[in-house]
Each structure stands twice: as C-alpha cells, then as structure tokens.
Amino acid sequence: MRHFDASQPLRVAVLGTGFGSKVHIPALQHHSETTVQAVYHRQPDRAAAIAVQFGIPNAYSDLDQLLADPAIEAVTIASPPFLHYPMAWAALSAGKSVLLEKPTTLNVEEARALWKLASSQGLTVTLDFEYRFVPAWQYVAELLAEGVIGQPWLVKLDWLMSSRADASRPWNWYALRSQGGGALGALGSHSFDYLAWLFGPARRLQARLFTAIQERPDATTGELKPVDSDDTDLIQLELAEGVPCQISLSSVFRQGRGHWLEVYGDRGTLILGSSNQKDYVHGFQVWFASAGQALQELTVPQRLAFRQEFADGRLAPFLRVVDHWLADLRHGQMTAPSLKEGLYSQLLIDLCWQSQRSGEWQTVPELNRFL
C-alpha cells in the first residue's frame, strides 16, 4: 500500500456537488489535515460556482484533466451511484486514493473490479459507512460485544423515512434502478454494512421490493415520468447461527417511525432508535432491559462523543470517516469500512434483486470468493 506525507494536509478533489457541497466540502475544509484543492462537476458553470462559494482554488469539468493535476493526491466521490464505478476506476488508475459514497457501485462485479484495481495499485479506498462512527451506534456495538443480551433470538430493523413521500418531488436519477436509485441503495447499503459489523455476515436472504410512487413529474415540463426504483423494501436475513433478522425500509412513509434497531436475546433486549425525520444522524438514543425488567434509557459514554457537533448531523461522523481514511493512508492499509465492506454491501443488494426476480431465498456466498 502507498503512504502519503502526513506532515502536510492531504490535497483532495471532491467529485460531485450535491452531497459533496453539503457534507464533503465543509467537512474536508474543517479538518485540519485535509485541504480541498479542486471540485468537479460536468457543467463548467456549476463547478466554477461551487469553487467560488467555498473558496476552492480549482474547478474542473473534465475529469481526466483533474486527475492529471499533480497537486491532487486523493479524491472523494459524492456523485450519483451510476458514476461511482467509472469515477473510482479513473481515480485509482491515476494513482489517487478514494473516499467513496454508498452504494458502492451498480453491481458486485463493478465493486470487485475496483477492489482488484485498488489492491494491485496499493491504493486505499474508504467507504462512507458513517453509522460505524456515530456515538450511540458505537456504544451499542460495545454492549453487544459484552454479551448484555446473551444469545440473540431476533434482530429487527425499521428505517421508515418520509424524505421522498411527496409525489410531486421531481423525477431524477433516483427514480431509476439502472442508475442506482432507490431505498435499497440509499438505506439498505448502510443497513447491510452495520448489520455485518454488529452481528457478522448473513447466511441467506429473501427480499420483496416495492415502488409505491410509480410516477414523478419532470422538473422542466411537469410531464409525469415512470419510476422503477424501489421505495419500500421488506427483507429477511438469516444471520450467523441461524439468527433471524427482519428489515423494513422506506423513503416514502409520512410519519414513519424513523430509524430503529431492536435486538432481542435470551438475557435481555437492546434498542437503538431515532424518530428524527430531518436528520439521519442526530437524535439516537439507547435503551436496555435485562430479562424480566422494564426498558431503561442508557447514557452514551462521554468518551464516545463527537469532538464537535454541527447543525447538519452528517458532518461529525463524516469527519470521523475522514480520520479513518487518513489513518489508513498513513499506514498504507485498508481497514473497515473499506472497499471490502462496500463489496459485501453491494453483494447483498444484488442478492435482494435476485430474490425479487426469483421469489426465492438466496444463499450469501463467502466474501473471499470475490477478493
């Protein structure tokens, strides 16, 4: 693996100006060990406007020119999912390490190709699986490792949001499965990663994927255009030792309950949840009950707290993802959450679509078969 000079801030280019301008650029500019050297958007005017807004030295609308710039050491990719593979492939081919948004790619074969390229080039790829870095989630991971619930009997995950509940929200790439749109890529990618982190890999799965809002208006003409990406998903996993896991995901539920993980075991019950529909990170609380007792809220230890909170809850965990990326770059390694974890998440997404088509349970192969 390649190392970088830790005595100087890492010079980064941000590819993508949607989530990139909301989270990546502010976080990277806040971090003391990174500097945003350039921003990319395919439209020159858009790239230039973002560069001016954030005081970024260089704006590019030609990706090859950006990657040829010797002042750029690494890139973050915050583009729509259908661009993840070609952008990451180009960046790795140019010798740039990558911080990549989820879902990893459009399919597991693309993710596998990136893994092989990054490994052969000795480059680091970190995935933005930020729930691993949220204090309440880290506390739950510690409690599970301590065995407070005993043998798990059931894992139940509800992630029921209203972000796309308005049917008049304009049609865009998110409406197309072929471009990586849908709740499975947006929410399922995170879910599959943190379930593996907390409970280990799945043995098999079954999925039913639905599209409740089947048309959305064109932003320019108002004409209704078809939607074929999923917005509501019901998934069953069989985890290690046959532990059942029930997953409900949606981006179109008005007054949805939010994001909740419930773990039931022979010695107790552990619940992690947030009903916050405005912020996917702020608001998580933890409850525990030993067998025969009432649920009680637990206080997340101060040692796990963020150094600084932000109005947008995504910034603080993303900064921890950047910390992780930098540590891997310094030591010339790829540790979780890396492209390996991104490949696993993408594998389960693909298997969900296979289950949808066949109506059958799908066996989850060993990840080493793809490495």
Q: Which pLDDT band holds residue 7 (cuts at 50, 70, 90)? A: confident
For 241, left (φ over 0), alpha (ψ -120 to 50), or beta? Answer: left
Look at residue 3 and tell me whether its pLDDT is greater than 90.
Answer: no
Cα distance between residue 34 and residue 16, in whole Å = 17
Q: Which pLDDT band holds residue 260 (cuts at 50, 70, 90)? A: very high
CA atoms within 13 A on the CB side of 20: 27
Look at residue 173 and tell me whether its pLDDT is greater than 80.
Answer: yes
Cα distance between residue 115 and residue 91, in whole Å = 13
What does the pLDDT look like over 336-352, one tens digit per residue? 999 999 999 999 999 99
The whole-number pLDDT of residue 346 equals 98
Q: Which pLDDT band holds residue 6 (cuts at 50, 70, 90)? A: confident
pTM above 0.95, yes or no: yes
The whole-number pLDDT of residue 370 equals 86
The whole-number pLDDT of residue 2 equals 61
Cα distance between residue 354 and residue 154, in whole Å = 24
Q: Strands 97-100 and 125-127, how do they pair?
A: parallel
Going from the N-terminus, what domains does the chain have, and what CATH number goes with each? 10-123 (3.40.50.720), 132-308+346-363 (3.30.360.10)
Mean pLDDT of 324-339: 96
CA distances from 304 to 58, 140, 227, 257 (A): 36, 11, 41, 26
Contacts of 103 (CB under 8 A, 6+ apart): 81, 84, 180, 184, 185, 186, 188, 189, 345, 346, 349
- Cβ atoms < 10 Å from Cβ of 6: 13
Task: Share the mean pLDDT of the chain.
Answer: 97
Look at residue 70 and tell me whether its pLDDT is greater than 80.
Answer: yes
Contact of 63 with 39, CB cutoff 8 Å: no
Nearest to 188 by CA among 205, 168, 172: 205
Mean pLDDT of 203-219: 98
Look at residue 1 and tell me whether its pLDDT is greater than 70.
Answer: no
Cis peptide before 337 (omega within 30 of 0): yes
Helix (H) or strand (E) holding 29: helix 25-30
Mean pLDDT of 122-138: 98
Tokens for 320, please give them: 């921890």
Q: Which pLDDT band holds residue 135 (cuts at 50, 70, 90)? A: very high
